[in-house]
Structure 1
Amino acid sequence: MIHYNPLLCLDFYKTAHAEQYPQTLTKMVSYYTPRMTRLDDTDKVAMFGLQAFINEYLIHAFDKFFFTVPFHHVIAEYKRVLNSTINTDGVGEKRLKALHDLGYLPLEIRAVPEGARTNIKVPQIEISNTHPDFVWLVNSIETMLSCTMWHTQVSAEVGYRYRQIVNEFAERTCDDGVVRAKLLGDFSMRGQESVESATKSSAAFCLSFLNTATVPAILWLESNYHCDCAKEPVAFGALSTEHSVMCSNFAMDGDEITHIRRLLTEVYPHQSFSMVSDSYDYWNLVDNILPQLKDEILAHDGCLLIRGDSGDPVEVVTKTAFKLWDIFGGTVNSKGFKVLNPHVKALYGDSITPQRCQQIYGILERTGFAINNVALGVGSFSMQCLETMDADHKSYAPYTRDTFGIAVKATYAEDADSKPIMIFKNPKTDTGHFKKSQRGCCCVVKNGDNYTYEDGLTWAEAQEDNELRVVFKNGEFIKTYTLDEVRQNLHGGQF
């Protein structure tokens, strides 16, 4: 969350738009819309993050850094920044004073349900003013909204993509009781742009999976989506070693087996943990050291996950699963697939792209192994880029705001006589035809799993049977969602 006046958290040019609008306007309506897709196999986008944006920015930031701050401090800072940078000393003083005196944010926000995946070109969020003097506020929050939400939504889509792969293979190879949401985890935090970006990205991934290495993702979900990790499965972390641990112990002991035995019998005798295993010679550890520790591993009150961290992930994790079967054995599940002894599992901690995930699961299935013999981690690469492949080459599609062409555009206004004014843009130079906006107010309709919309409506006409429902009005929440509700919305009740 920001730590300054949110009316300074925007593009410079928006600070002067109030004076540029027709002065007779009393109402403005804008829509947040994924306008296109750059991913060949994706024609929907998950709506997620609005509730957090409202809570952190429109409620807490406005309250702490605007409405409860003496106005002379607010305007002094506002004028100092703008006059020193774009020479607009005094611009906005009257309207900011009027807003400060009002004491609340006179906006209404309507949206499709959090977790819903809506079709491209269908508006997900509607923003309008509730007081005729604050038309300018509607698009003033665009910049904050856009930069806060797009990556969160992309990460929700990334998690959803992996969950569909898991669902496909688990349906064929795993017992029905296997928790699919525990088969993959997020390992992306250190490779994200910032703590804030990592937190929201992991929280979005956790709409589809329960495992994350990003501790603050749980706190963010608790703060914004009515959940409590002490009372329900928000997300889970894991105990694990790292190279500094393995290498420092090797330097002291002169071998690896001493430390592994201590981990099993003294440090974590009653807890599952993963162990990075390639600091020196991965296959030596698997082939020679683990058999020497078989008794300790089978007596261990938990699961030891053998983690590869270099080499080809597909080969390393599948070959490890096969070798663990040879050493420790296991059982055959109800669908006829081998399941390792519960004391061991193979893990690859990151570098798992959707393609590698499918390859790993495909190899396991073809060789008669259930996919829950391995645990896979998704790193920052997959949270920020989709690797695509055809018969000839690989290509990469970095995720940006323009992956789904997300934008907020004004489409409707009214004057003092409540006369409807249809607003739209349709650039002739836009050969891709994705910058064309809606026209007028919109009514979003759900048909089965798909969403469509009708535009060209007046404000009054768009009120009935509209999937865009009021979630925020005049500084307060009207409707909120729990984490469980968001997960069930995203996965059709099958999280």
Structure 2
Amino acid sequence: MTTLNDANIILDTDSYKSSHFLQYPPHTTRLFSYLESRGGKYPATRFFGLQYILKRYLSVRVTADMVDEARDLIEAHGEPFPYDGWMRVVTAHGGRLPLEVRAVPEGTLVPNHNVLMSVTNTDPELPWLVGWFETMLMRVWYPTTVATQSYYLKQIIREALEQTSDRAAEELPFKLHDFGSRGVSSRESAGLGGLAHLTNFMGSDTLEALRTGRNYYGAEVAGFSIPAAEHSTITSWGKEHEVEAYRNLVNTFAKPGAVFAVVSDSYDLKYAINVHWGETLRPLIEASGATLVVRPDSGEPAAMVRLAVRALDAKFGSELNSKGFKVLRHVRVIQGDGIDEESIREILQTVIGDGFSAENVGFGMGGALLQQVNRDTQRFAYKASAGLIDGEYRGIYKDPVTDPGKRSKDGVLDLVMENGRYVTRAYKTFDTDFPGSLMRTVYRDGELLVDETLEEVRGRV
């Protein structure tokens, strides 16, 4: 059995796409497709991740061997294959895809129902390429949806900090930490989804996100972490030596200005706080100049955070800030189990209701951050909206009677700002220079035209 070439981008499509070159009207020379969020959980979408897809995949040069491999597999699979068309990509274009991609700048927050990206062909003999790469380009839904969810969670935490903290701007970037690497379906998901989160925050335990940021967005170090315990590093000491496990962490990591986290519910969270941390080890922590972050990891999240914050206040004390909320001395709490939008809101309401500043609490979010999203979270769609057929412009759209919400746009689409609002403008011609456009041509004929850094993307966030 022959192993397929992982770099063969021809095969990164849906099977039925291979038959579409035979289905468009005769003398079709141009197609135009667009991407939008048709609604969903959040009212606007933070666009991110296209640059990765263009660099990682669409910059690959198509070879004759790839074409032969794709033909053999696809025809054996039961589909026709546009062999001559793909060989034209190889011979006439040097393997470079004759496509043009325009998009809003990454990091832009765009209200739903607006164009985010458009794709058209630059070779009149190959209009079907626009649809062929729908499958690949549509996957921008994933980093965009993660970035969008992370952004809206940031607004929830920001509001709580601004209400209760004197240090909101300093605290916010590290309040939602990515614990999601083990909960995703692939290494690529960890990298791209993890980096999408880091457009909004600075804390992550997903190392793959740092690699993706460095390789595709020019970020030397995209995010930061701290030393932290897991249950095995505590329980390996044995229950009777739990305090010695904690003492070892204090002696190793508690330096002036340092922050370290310790999961403390391996046996009895309340006892660990009241006795081990609050009595036996308290003098060491107070003298160290470090900040201990206690992590509950079981039980009902809001109740466990309340227990931890109150118990730590009783042992370490707190100070009132200028807004009248208590800030713990020497210690903080991070909740990393069961974190999602609902539990974040509940925890913050509980903490604030008890008179404590939101800065006392951080969140670690795993599968709910990077995995519990899908294409329908923001109802992404990639649709053809215009064509050039027999030399005549033709608007293309669908309008199903059974679901008016799926009515697609028609026209050559662009995004502009009118009276302070984002508006999708539709032209009835391919001959336009897109006046006042908020979109940019980011890719043409196999070449990436815009290569931005993560810091530029964060600047828009």
Aligned to 1:165, the other structure's residue is in SS state helix
- CA offsets per residue over residues 150-201 of structure 1, 9 Å max, x none? 2212211210121011111111111145331111211122122222222222
Within the candidate set 242, 245, 253, 1:259 is matched to: 245
RMSD: 2.0
- Counting only pairs closer than 5 Å after superposition, residues 258-407 of structure 1 correspond to structure 2 as 258-266=244-252, 269=255, 271-290=258-277, 291-341=279-329, 343-385=330-372, 399-407=373-381
Partner of 1:394: none
> Counterparts of 2:234 and 2:426 in 1: how far apart (Å)?
61
> In 2 relative to 1, CA 266–465 (structure 1 residues): closer, same or farther, beyond 3 Å?
closer
Per-residue deviation, 1:306: 0.9
Partner of 2:396: 423
Instruction: Using structure 2 for the length normalisation, give the TM-score.
Output: 0.92
Of the structure 1 ranges 166-175 and 354-363, higher mean CA displacement relative to structure 2 is found in 354-363
Per-residue deviation, 1:105: 1.5
- CA offsets per residue over residues 294-317 of structure 1, 9 Å max, x none? 111112242211110001111111
Residue 408 of structure 1 pairs with residue 382 of structure 2: yes
Partner of 1:149: 140
Within the candidate set 22, 37, 56, 1:34 is matched to: 37
Question: Is the CA contact 1:215–1:237 (under 8 Å) kept in the aligned structure 2?
Answer: no
Question: Is the CA contact 1:351–1:377 (under 8 Å) kept in the aligned structure 2?
Answer: no
Unaligned runs of 5+ residues in structure 1 are 386-398, 491-495
Per-residue deviation, 1:382: 4.8
- CA offsets per residue over residues 232-276 of structure 1, 9 Å max, x none? xx211221111111111126xx32111211221146556422111
> Counterparts of 2:79 and 2:416 in 1: how far apart (Å)?
46
> Counterparts of 2:214 and 2:412 in 1: how far apart (Å)?
34
- CA offsets per residue over residues 37-75 of structure 1, 9 Å max, x none? 2x3xx221111111111111111xx23xx24xxx2x223
Partner of 1:444: 415
Of the structure 1 ranges 372-381 and 442-451, higher mean CA displacement relative to structure 2 is found in 442-451
- Aligned-partner residue type, residue 194 of structure 2: S
Aligned to 1:132, the other structure's residue is in SS state coil
> In 2 relative to 1, CA 383–266 (structure 1 residues): closer, same or farther, beyond 3 Å?
closer
Partner of 1:95: 85
> In 2 relative to 1, CA 487–350 (structure 1 residues): closer, same or farther, beyond 3 Å?
farther
Partner of 1:219: 211
Within the candidate set 246, 258, 270, 2:234 is matched to: 246
Within the candidate set 129, 132, 142, 2:124 is matched to: 132
Aligned to 1:318, the other structure's residue is in SS state helix
Partner of 2:449: 478
> In 2 relative to 1, CA 465–211 (structure 1 residues): closer, same or farther, beyond 3 Å?
same
- Aligned-partner residue type, residue 385 of structure 2: T
- Aligned-partner residue type, residue 348 of structure 2: Y
- Aligned-partner residue type, residue 357 of structure 2: A
Residue 458 of structure 1 pairs with residue 450 of structure 2: no
Question: Is the CA contact 1:108–1:128 (under 8 Å) kept in the aligned structure 2?
Answer: yes
Question: Is the CA contact 1:48–1:152 (under 8 Å) kept in the aligned structure 2?
Answer: yes
Question: Is the CA contact 1:242–1:275 (under 8 Å) kept in the aligned structure 2?
Answer: yes
Of the structure 1 ranges 327-336 and 344-353, higher mean CA displacement relative to structure 2 is found in 327-336
Per-residue deviation, 1:365: 2.2
Question: Is the CA contact 1:422–1:456 (under 8 Å) kept in the aligned structure 2?
Answer: no
Question: Is the CA contact 2:254–2:291 (under 8 Å) kept in the aligned structure 1?
Answer: no
Within the candidate set 434, 454, 466, 2:405 is matched to: 434
- CA offsets per residue over residues 58-101 of structure 1, 9 Å max, x none? 11xx23xx24xxx2x2233122211221153xx32211111011
Residue 56 of structure 1 pairs with residue 56 of structure 2: yes
> Counterparts of 2:194 and 2:420 in 1: how far apart (Å)?
26
Aligned to 2:227, the other structure's residue is in SS state coil
Question: Is the CA contact 1:32–1:126 (under 8 Å) kept in the aligned structure 2?
Answer: yes
Per-residue deviation, 1:384: 4.4
Q: Percent identity between the aligned chains?
A: 31
> Counterparts of 1:305 and 1:332 in 2: how far apart (Å)?
20
Per-residue deviation, 1:29: 0.8
> Counterparts of 2:72 and 2:351 in 1: how far apart (Å)?
63
> Counterparts of 1:220 and 1:247 in 2: how far apart (Å)?
34
Per-residue deviation, 1:19: 2.5
Unaligned runs of 5+ residues in structure 2 are none
> Counterparts of 1:262 and 1:444 in 2: how far apart (Å)?
57
> In 2 relative to 1, CA 450–3 (structure 1 residues): closer, same or farther, beyond 3 Å?
farther
Question: Is the CA contact 1:413–1:421 (under 8 Å) kept in the aligned structure 2?
Answer: yes
- CA offsets per residue over residues 376-406 of structure 1, 9 Å max, x none? 1112135444xxxxxxxxxxxxx32122221
- CA offsets per residue over residues 120-177 of structure 1, 9 Å max, x none? 221110101112222111111100111x222212211210121011111111111145
- Aligned-partner residue type, residue 173 of structure 1: T
Partner of 1:170: 161
Of the structure 1 ranges 14-23 and 404-413, higher mean CA displacement relative to structure 2 is found in 14-23
- Counting only pairs closer than 5 Å after superposition, residues 60-209 of structure 1 correspond to structure 2 as 62-63=60-61, 66-67=62-63, 71=64, 73-86=65-78, 88=80, 91-101=81-91, 102-103=93-94, 104-146=96-138, 148-176=139-167, 177-209=169-201
Aligned to 1:258, the other structure's residue is in SS state helix
Aligned to 1:412, the other structure's residue is in SS state strand
> Counterparts of 2:340 and 2:8 in 1: how far apart (Å)?
40
- Aligned-partner residue type, residue 400 of structure 1: N
> Counterparts of 2:182 and 2:33 in 1: how far apart (Å)?
36
Question: Is the CA contact 1:118–1:450 (under 8 Å) kept in the aligned structure 2?
Answer: no
Within the candidate set 9, 12, 29, 2:12 is matched to: 9
Of the structure 1 ranges 15-24 and 237-246, higher mean CA displacement relative to structure 2 is found in 15-24
